[in-house]
């Protein structure tokens, strides 16, 4: 039965009286920074609000400019340094103040590693209530010159009638004009230096979407376009790539494709005499040196034996599966996207790896009922995306694996899934960070779980 509307005319006030006025965007505020958040921003407390200040360090007094405010949380950016931390260093990159890519350059590398280690430990303790029996030393490579893949933003400014080329600004869609980037591998730095000039020389720059750069067994430039490229523009891009000794790839509405159909692109895993083919759009770890060290550590922790059957979940192109196959009797590798399964299988064939089998499965669902899981496994390796592997780990004990290595790009979902694994009788034997993205707060980690 519907209730009759009241005609009393009474107006009810929210509990607690008047609402606290919101902090306006652009406001400057003096703050004392108490500690660092897991994402590298400084944390301050003022008037019942928590302030997150990018570019600030613990112990500093700063003037910050408000970027965004909601409820009791204010996001801000360092505007002026009033009292510096003794840890602070001069950012090596001249674009640091505006580019949104590397947000920790003001922090020495060792301190960056310590922050990432602390972030992982706090997540494991807070979410799962566990700490590893042993902490592994951070896996790390060069601070700069490590990134073998980059996306360059491109936008036609209608009013100014000019092409903007560079990287996105922090907390903005603005494009910062950049023709040098210290975190790129050297061959890509050279390409980026000359890229804006050739793009601005095109007769129809409005047709450009964005540009991606790749470095592996060859260098490649992928041009995404929203309209057909005129023949003269295509010729300019080809000439540029030939001079740079790089492949030219194009992508319109279809999949990326090389202009030269014979072009081959891949990356090497030298310790295992492997070369994996990949295409623009495929997932690949951007840090080649740390990727190799990560695989070596995963194989060392998992310790596959010559008579064992090993499961690799979220296998991608076979980055872990093919090195595992060099050690184990059999590797079963599973991925959610059929195209990636096909490419991984082709990589196995092309490297004469015959003891790895590849399957497609929806890994957001439990593994029960899959034929390849029926025989069980001695060991399992998982390398899930940021969402983690919550559904997969729910019944993973049924696979009877004694050892499980979990490679994570998100400590929060690793901690959540660790709680599930511990609940099934696994012990968190070892854990450590992987410094895949120096100069950023992005944390990758590896954890070893053992049954019993």
Q: Is 105 left (phi over 0), alpha (psi -120 to 50) or beta?
A: alpha
**Nearest-angstrom CA–CA distance, 250 and 281:** 12
Query: For residues 226 and 154, is the Cβ–Cβ distance under 8 A?
Result: no
Q: Tokens 């470095």 appear where?
A: 215
Tokens 């210290």 correspond to what residue?
A: 182
181 is in an annotated binding site: yes
Is 315 annotated as ligand-binding?
no
Residue 362 is labelled as binding a ligand: yes
**Long-range CB contacts (< 8 A, 24+ apart) of 239-247?**
240/194, 240/195, 240/198, 244/190, 244/191, 244/194, 244/219, 245/219, 246/187, 246/191, 246/218, 246/219, 246/220, 246/221, 247/218, 247/219, 247/220, 247/221
C-alpha 36: how far from chain center: 20
- The catalytically annotated residue of 290, 409, 434, 441 is 409
Calculated CA dihedral for residues 155, 157, 158, 160, nearest 10 degrees: -160
Q: In what order do the strands lie in the sheet with 42-46?
A: 28-32, 61-70, 73-83, 49-54, 42-46, 35-36
Sign of CA dihedral 327, 302, 320, 359: positive
Residue 241 known to bind ligand:
no
Question: What token pair was written down for 369?
Answer: 């009922």
Tokens of 409: 């790009």
The helix (H) or strand (E) run that includes residue 330 is strand 330-335
Asked if 161 and 80 touch (Cβ cutoff 8 Å), the reply is: no
Joined together, the tokens standing for residue 447 give 């954890």
Q: How far apart are CA 423 and CA 441, in angstroms?
A: 30
Active site residue 409: yes
Backbone angles phi, psi at 63, to 5 degrees: -110, 125
Rounded to 5 degrees, φ, ψ at 163 are: -95, 125
Q: How far apart, in whole angstroms, are the C-alpha atoms of residue 223 and residue 198?
A: 12
Kindly state the helix (H) or strand (E) to which residue 48 belongs, with its residue range.
none
The answer on whether 417 is annotated among ligand-binding residues is no
Burial label, 304 (beta-carbon count in 10 A; 0-12, 13-18, 19+)? buried
Cα 145 to Cα 62, 226, 276, 348, 354: the distances in Å are 31, 31, 22, 30, 36
Instruction: Pick out the residues of the known binding site.
Output: 93, 99, 102, 181, 285, 314, 319, 335, 362, 383
Instruction: Pick out the residues of the known binding site for [4Fe-4S] cluster.
Output: 93, 99, 102, 181
What are the residue numbers of the active site? 409
Instruction: Pick out the residues of the known binding site for S-adenosyl-L-methionine.
Output: 285, 314, 319, 335, 362, 383
């Amino acid at each position: 039965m519907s209730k009759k509307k009241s005609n009393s005319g009474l107006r009810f006030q929210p509990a607690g009286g008047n609402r606290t006025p919101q902090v306006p965007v652009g406001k400057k505020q003096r703050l004392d920074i108490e500690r660092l958040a897991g994402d590298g921003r400084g944390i301050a407390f003022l008037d019942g609000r928590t302030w997150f200040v990018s570019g600030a360090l613990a112990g500093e007094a700063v003037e910050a400019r408000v970027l965004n405010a909601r409820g009791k949380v204010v996001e801000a950016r360092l505007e002026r340094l009033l009292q510096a931390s003794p840890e602070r260093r001069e950012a090596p990159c001249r674009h640091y103040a505006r580019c949104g890519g590397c947000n920790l350059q003001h922090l020495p590398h060792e301190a960056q590693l310590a922050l990432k280690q602390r972030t992982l430990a706090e997540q494991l303790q807070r979410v799962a209530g566990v700490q590893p029996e042993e902490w592994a030393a951070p896996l790390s490579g060069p601070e700069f010159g490590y990134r073998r893949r980059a996306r360059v933003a491109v936008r036609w400014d209608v009013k100014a009638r000019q092409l903007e080329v560079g990287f996105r600004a922090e907390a903005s869609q603005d494009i910062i004009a950049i023709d040098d980037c210290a975190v790129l591998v050297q061959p890509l730095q050279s390409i980026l230096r000359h890229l804006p000039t050739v793009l601005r020389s095109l007769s129809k720059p409005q047709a450009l979407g964005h540009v991606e750069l790749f470095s592996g067994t060859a260098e490649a430039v992928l041009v995404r376009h929203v309209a057909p490229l005129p023949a003269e523009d295509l010729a300019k891009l080809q000439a540029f790539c030939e001079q740079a000794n790089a492949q030219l790839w194009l992508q319109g509405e279809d999949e990326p494709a090389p202009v030269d159909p014979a072009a081959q692109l891949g990356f090497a895993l030298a310790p295992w005499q492997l070369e994996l083919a990949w295409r623009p759009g495929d997932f690949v770890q951007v840090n080649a040196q740390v990727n190799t060290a990560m695989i070596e550590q995963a194989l060392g922790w998992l310790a596959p034996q010559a008579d064992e059957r090993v499961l690799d979940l979220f296998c991608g192109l076979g980055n872990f599966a093919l090195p595992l196959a060099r050690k184990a009797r059999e590797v079963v590798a599973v991925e959610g996207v059929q195209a990636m399964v096909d490419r991984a299988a082709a990589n196995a064939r092309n490297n004469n790896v015959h003891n790895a089998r590849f399957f497609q499965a929806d890994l957001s669902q439990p593994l029960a009922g899959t034929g390849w899981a029926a025989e069980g496994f001695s060991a399992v390796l998982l390398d899930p995306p940021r969402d983690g592997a919550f559904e997969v780990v729910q019944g993973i004990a049924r696979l009877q694996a004694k050892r499980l290595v979990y490679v994570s790009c998100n400590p929060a979902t690793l901690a959540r899934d660790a709680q599930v694994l511990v609940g099934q009788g696994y012990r968190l034997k070892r854990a450590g960070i992987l410094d895949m993205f120096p100069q950023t707060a992005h944390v990758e980690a590896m954890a070893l779980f053992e049954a019993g």
